[in-house]
Amino acid sequence: MALEMRLPVEEYLENFDFKSFLRSVKVRDERLILDQIRYFTVKEAVERDRIVESYFGSEKISEIVDILVNKFKFSPIKHGKIRTLDLGSGTGFFTVRVAEKLRKLAPDLEVYAMDATPSMLKVLVNKYKNVTPIIGVAEDVRGSLNFSSGFMDLPSEFEFIFSILTLHHCLNVANVFRSVNEVLGSNGLFVVADLCKHEFEEFKLEMGDVHLGFNPEEIREIAKETFSEVKIEIEPGIKCECSGRGAEIFFASMIK
């Protein structure tokens, strides 16, 4: 179930005080965050689910969901009460599909969705009532939770955090990894699915991308500075396709 909020969720998303929020969290690139929010509000909030379908098609979407769920299944996380966070959840397209399958493995599941863009979360809450939306930034998850804890009771840590196609919108990967590590419980699992390095410079303008994907080895090196175990895989056949341009997807699993 979604957590009880101290004000209607619509009000939380509508009247969020970004000025105070950005003053209270650790972000070095405030302008970039505001640009991202603007981009996703104007260009994607209403269309996001259709965009994801067009990138992958339903078969590959199921494969991506299964990969994430299997990473949880075969991780050291002890099943019991599981708090999961989709970081950069957008409109919740993957949040809900992953949660549905996770619930079969871990019936005592709480699902949280954090995103910087309120209008993406508004689409999510209009579709799904059993996910708790949190406005927040990947670079300071702890600070984001603290800020929103005035509006609802939030956990201080999570057993499983995943993030899909969001890392390439964040300027500093190392900061995101450190921020996630701060809120992962012991033996907690963090899984990132994102684009491998590609050459489509125009994605920056067309899709608000900050990085043209990543070299998975570079991600491994950065992750090793923070996490005790790191595993990177590229799944053959899973590509993010857009108007004839395709980028492979890597899956990085990191244990606290």
Ligand X SMILES: C[S@@+](CC[C@H](N)C(=O)[O-])C[C@H]1O[C@@H](n2cnc3c(N)ncnc32)[C@H](O)[C@@H]1O
The binding site for ligand X (CB under 6 A) comprises 33, 36, 40, 48, 52, 88-90, 93-94, 115-117, 120, 137-139, 164-166, 169-170
Choice between 48 and 256, CB closer to ligand X: 48
CB of 170 to ligand X, least distance (A): 5
Asked if residues 220 and 252 have their Cβ atoms less than 8 Å apart, the reply is yes
Min. distance of Cβ 82 from ligand X in angstroms? Answer: 19
CB atoms within 10 A of CB 175: 19
Nearer to ligand X, 138 or 180 (CB): 138
Least Cβ distance, residue 32 to ligand X (angstroms): 8
Complex with ligand X: residue 24 or 228, whichever CB lies closer: 24
CA 200 → CA 31, 156, 195, 204, distances in Å? 23, 39, 12, 8
Residue 90 or 185 having the CB closest to ligand X = 90
Cβ 124 to ligand X shortest distance, Å:
10
Residue 53 φ then ψ, to 5°: -55, -40
**∠ CA 90-93-94 to the nearest 5 degrees?**
100
Q: % helix / strand / coil in the chain, to the nearest 5?
A: 45, 25, 30
The greatest distance separating any two alpha carbons of the chain, rounded to the nearest whole angstrom, comes to 47
User: Rounded to the nearest 10 degrees, what angle do helices 48-73 and 93-105 cross at?
Assistant: 30
- Give the side-chain half-sphere CA count within 13 A for 69: 19
From the CB of 3, what's the least distance to ligand X, in Å?
A: 20
Complex with ligand X: residue 130 or 186, whichever CB lies closer: 130
State the residue number with the nearest CB to ligand X: 90
